[in-house]
Structure 1
């Protein structure tokens, strides 16, 4: 199952296992069960502290659980955790085997202190780059607290469950049989939903922090670069982010970040955070900014308020809140979001195997999505608002060569149709003749660009017609001492490498502002 190189790497990791544990597999005569058995046999051959039982009787087959000898850990994989989930498997093996987590001590204690019975189920796909964060978070919680159980389920392998629960986006999380959440979530986000008093405690912690010299709002590439450049100046630096990594976390292949030939968004996001943490930067995650109150005087303090009621103050502020997927804003889109309407073809594409889908948008992202999906689904209909596709010629040529793709230009999507439970089609207007057409399908992937995350800044800094923060050549906004960087600003070309440079520039400008203020 595992090649020689992977076995060598895994054996080195498993040397960190200190507590014996067993793998209990529930198998049948199917090909996937034999594939799982081969994987598990490879694992136990690499460590004398791991044993394998194949007489499990779990209702999900194939599946396997991990449990310490005489222990009480509720951790199971229903499916073969390869692809993006192989790291989840390795971490689970290490953690069940006694290797300590790198989580902060206070977070570990918070997990251990949760009372009640919590049975989590997470549906994932092997191509989903958002899923491992959820799977790894809930696996660790199950290792730390015997009241927490977790099953990670490959949606492509257990299609009957996916159809029964009408799951059309991953990761999809269920708690005690009821929907709990969709999309990327880390340990702290899950804890915040379980621990209803965490918001008030977080607000108190925010209010207790002394003022920063530089406060960066946003944790994407621009925010990370700004924090590093500020911290290297030896000034008090803080980063408040809704989620560290920002839009990069939702990006799959990255091949144009200079000096890095190829990487993936989540991997780059982890590298950014690790780099920031090398410096004395106060990182405050899971904080959504709600209002900016400019300083009353040039030598006063700016205030940033947050959704939980807390606030932070700083001599200078760098706004780097990035952008989000643009929505169609048509009837039915919100109603069927996560039930057929999706924004990540890499994550959710496998759930539409053999089905009919549409891709909205003819730029590079839309055409790339259509090409990817064409290899999975029965048919792809690509709808482009303009007269012609806007993607690179090489991508257009590839798309047009695919037999199961229909391209429709001058098409304005006007409505998402559904049966009350899931998407059943869409309506579009032919902009040439004003004729209305209906396309029957099961999935819609929206790929029509980005919107700046600047709604919370309306009435404080000057914004452009499309909501971008207006900045000058130094990143200065309309408010002295407040700077902007990255995709949320008017700087053209929304690219990671540009955001990093703009974050560094805004930070240097903020430092220059501070020293000139004396």
Structure 2
């Protein structure tokens, strides 16, 4: 099943296995069961002294297999043939089961071990989803390190009957103890916090006890990461607080226009950003949502950043790099049918609509790229573009027009997403030229109409444009002394990764310039001295 190069890489990885474990397969006579058995036998062949295989499993999901360290009661099952994006998840699960330590903070591992409840997770994923591996790997880690946590990883394409029964129309989707738990990308820290009811209070106390920073960056995307690198290299106390490192980059499938990197994907680039920042003395506070910023009482004083969990952080300067998110079309039915036919990631959710009729709202590059990708999976794609002409690059439009199963409506306004029995069944739109209404019967709608800045939480603290973007000058400075901003959340034109990274660097250099020209408040200086001494 695996080619020779992959087998060689697999053998090299599995040399890191330190403790013996077995795989127990539940198989039937189907084609997929044969493929699964072949894969498992190749894994055993790569490390026969440490890994063994049994095929007498009796789980109701066939084919499937478990990983179990001898002498333990770990409960991790793959109801999937984890190839594609999930091959890395399989390799990591094998290594962790075999005693190789994960690259996760020790505090998080201890928090997993301390969870005192019986938790049964089922995660539905697709092998083409680039958001799914993070959740699969997080839950796999939890199952391996806590015997009271039971995790089953389910390929929606392999178990289509369960997808239909549970009306799952977006991945990753997680159920906990039989009830819906979450949908979308989540880190292990986020999942643990969600099931550990006392985590928020402990986090708040821990964060509030931190000494003031000289530069505190809000956001961990390209702008925030670049700002952190540049600030830390100046030798000043730097912190980054973010909901998820990498930001929206994590949801980008292909990156082919960053100078010096001919081609990569969003999750890989986001991981590289975090590794780069961790190479410096930067205090990274992940999975934290910021609720507000209070400017310093006097210029050069300490700015207070308040977190959702009630904790507070203080800093002499702050760089706002909160990025942007997909814009909603804001028509009846969008919120009601989100994850029930309304989707925003064609790469993640496209395979769930194989052989069905779908629509893409938006005729820019994102919309046309989504339509091209979907056309190879679904029965038919209808593209709805508000403007008289599509705004995508000419090469993309030419490719779209060559596809036989795509219909494009320009100068068309989406008016409603309809549904029945909890699922999308159609889309209504208006021809703007003559005002006539139209309806398309379909089962999925992919919204691709641009971005909205993540700045609502700021209120009137800093000046924002009518579009919600933070107003900055050429140095990245806002109208509030000591507060800078960078990236997609600002008025800087062209929302591109390379532009955001450059803006983050500019903001960090400007913050450093502000620091050396502004006397430090005595209280902050003393607290920083104590932190350095500690």
Same fold (TM over 0.5): yes
Aligned to 1:35: 35
Tell me the SS of whatever aligns to 2:488: helix
What is the distance in 1 between the residues matched to 2:385 and 2:326? 17
1:54 CA displacement: 1.7
Map 1:41-440 onto structure 2 (within 5 A). 41-48=41-48, 49-440=50-441
1:239 CA displacement: 0.5
Aligned to 1:17: 17
Query: Contact (CA 8 Å) 2:318, 2:482: kept in 1 or not?
Result: yes
CA distances 1:337-378 after superposition (whole Å, capped 9, x unpaired): 111100000000000111110000000110010010011111
CA RMSD of aligned residues (A): 0.9
CA distances 1:276-311 after superposition (whole Å, capped 9, x unpaired): 111111111111111111111112111111111111
CA distances 1:424-463 after superposition (whole Å, capped 9, x unpaired): 1111111011111111111000000000001011211100
Tell me the SS of whatever aligns to 1:488: coil
Aligned to 1:478: 479
What is the distance in 1 between the residues matched to 2:178 and 2:299? 55
What is the distance in 1 between the residues matched to 2:269 and 2:234? 24
1:274 CA displacement: 0.6
5+ residue gaps, structure 2, are 520-534
1:71 CA displacement: 2.2
Aligned to 1:26: 26
5+ residue gaps, structure 1, are none
Query: Contact (CA 8 Å) 2:300, 2:482: kept in 1 or not?
Result: no
1:18 CA displacement: 1.4
1:420 CA displacement: 4.1
What is the distance in 1 between the residues matched to 2:39 and 2:247? 35
- Count the aligned residue pairs: 518
| TM-score, structure 1 as length reference | 0.99
Higher deviation after alignment, 292-301 or 337-346:
292-301
CA distances 1:305-350 after superposition (whole Å, capped 9, x unpaired): 1111111111111000000000001111111111110000000000
What is the distance in 2 between the residues matched to 1:488 and 1:106? 32
| TM-score, structure 2 as length reference | 0.96
1:55 CA displacement: 2.1
What is the distance in 1 between the residues matched to 2:300 and 2:59? 66
What is the distance in 1 between the residues matched to 2:246 and 2:25? 36
What is the distance in 1 between the residues matched to 2:286 and 2:514? 26
